[in-house]
A and B are shown apart, each in its own frame.
Chain A
Amino acid sequence: MKILAAMSGGVDSAVAAARAVEAGHEVVGVHLALSRMPGTLRTGSRGCCTIEDSMDARRAAAKLGIPFYVWDFSERFRADVVDDFVAEYAAGRTPNPCMRCNERIKFAALLDKALALGFDAVVTGHYAEVRRGSDGVELHRAAAWAKDQSYVLGVLTAEQLAHAWFPLGATPSKAEVRAEAEARGLLVATKPDSHDICFIPDGDTRGWLAEHLPSEARGAEEGAILDRDGARIGTHPGAAAFTVGQRKGLNIGYPAPDGRPRFVLEVRPKTNEVVVGPREALAIAELAGSRFTWAGTAPADADAGFACEVQVRAHGDPVPAHARVDGGELVIRAEQPIEGVAPGQTAVVYVGTRVVGQCTIDRTVSAVPASA
Chain B
Amino acid sequence: MAVYLDHAATSPMPDEVLAAYTDALRLVGNPSSIHGAGQAAREALETGREAVARALGADPVEVVLTSGGTESINLAVKGMFWVATASDRRRTRVIAPLGEHHATLDAVEWLARHEGARVDWVELDGEGRIRLDALAAALATDPDEVAFVTALWANNEVGTVQPVAELVALAHAYGVPVHLDAVAAFGQVPVDLHAVGADAVSVSAHKVGGPVGVGALALARTATVEPLLHGGDQQRGRSGTQDAAGAVAFGVAAARAVAELPLARVEALRDRLVAGVLAAVDGAVLRGAPCGPGRLPGNAHFTFAGADGDALLYLLDASGISVSTGSACQAGVPELSHVLLAMGLSEAEARGALRITLGHDSTDADVDAFLAALPAAVAGARAAASAGA
Contacts and interface: CB of A to CB of B under 8 A. Distances in A.
A112 B308 CA distance: 13
Contact of B333 (A54, A67, A112, A118): A54
Given A67-B317, A112-B387, A113-B387, A39 B330 contact: yes
B334 A117 contact: no
B332 interface: yes
A69 interface: yes
Interface in B300-322: 308-311, 313-315, 317-318
A51 B333 CA distance: 9
Nearest to A35: B333
Interface in A194-212: none
B18 interface: no
B388 interface: yes
Nearest to B332: A70
Given A67-B318, A112-B387, A117 B333 contact: no
A113 B308 contact: yes
A279 to B, nearest CB: 47
Nearest to A53: B331
B331 A38 contact: yes
Contact of B331 (A51, A76, A110, A116): A51
B387 to A, nearest CB: 4
Contact of B383 (A28, A36, A116): A116
A58 B332 CA distance: 10
Contacts, number: 61
A198 B387 CA distance: 25
Interface string B373-386: 00000001001101
Interface string A114-145: 01111000000000000000000000000000
Q: Interface residues of B toward A: which range?
A: 20 to 34
Interface in A224-241: none
Q: Interface residues of A toward B: which range?
A: 20 to 34
A109 B384 CA distance: 9
B320 to A, nearest CB: 11
Contact of B384 (A58, A69, A76, A113): A113
B41 to A, nearest CB: 36
Contacts of B88: none
B308 A55 contact: no
A116 B384 contact: yes
B364 interface: no
Nearest to A50: B331
B335 interface: yes
Contacts of B331: 33, 38, 51, 54-55, 70
Contact of B332 (A69, A112, A115, A116): A69
A113 B333 contact: no
A326 B310 CA distance: 44
Nearest to B330: A38
Contacts of A71: 310, 314
Interface in B314-362: 314-315, 317-318, 329-335
Interface string A39-79: 10000000000010011001000000001011110001000
Contacts of B314: 28, 69, 71, 117
Interface in A10-50: 28, 33, 36, 38-39
Given A36-B335, A67-B318, A71-B310, A113 B330 contact: no
Contacts of A69: 310, 313-314, 317, 332
Contacts of B335: 36, 38, 72
29 contacts: A28-B314, A33-B333, A36-B335, A38-B329, A38-B331, A39-B330, A54-B331, A54-B332, A67-B317, A67-B318, A69-B317, A69-B332, A70-B332, A70-B333, A70-B334, A72-B310, A72-B333, A76-B388, A110-B388, A112-B388, A113-B308, A113-B387, A113-B388, A115-B387, A116-B311, A116-B380, A116-B384, A116-B386, A117-B314
Given A116-B311, A117-B383, 7 more contacts: A51-B331, A69-B310, A69-B313, A72-B333, A112-B388, A113-B384, A116-B387
